[in-house]
Amino acid sequence: MNDLARTPRQIGTTIQRARKKRDWTQMQLAERAGLRQATISLIESGEKPAKLDSILAVLAALDLEFRIGPRSKGHGQDIEELF
């Protein structure tokens, strides 16, 4: 998995896809990440800002990592089509 995410909603969608790929419920992911199910729901919806430490806990539970790199030169519309 090597997804690009630039917005909270895109991060949430990426996390949701990874969770569903493992056939986990939000509750199962929450237990593995040490968070509440409601927090997972908020992260996946991308509607409210999530704490970075919560996102990192979720990524660790999914055996994923956070990387920072130069912004690609694609158009915003191209990136939105990924989600």
Q: What is the pLDDT of residues 5-46, one digit of tens each?
A: 889 999 999 999 999 999 999 999 999 999 999 999 999 999
Would you say 33 and 42 are in contact if contact means Cβ atoms under 8 Å apart? no
- Domain range 8-62, CATH architecture: Orthogonal Bundle (1.10)
> What stretch of H or E contains 58?
helix 52-61
Per-residue confidence (pLDDT) for residue 75, from 0 to 100: 58
Per-residue confidence (pLDDT) for residue 14, from 0 to 100: 96
Q: Among residues 10, 54, 47, which one has the least CA distance to residue 33?
A: 54
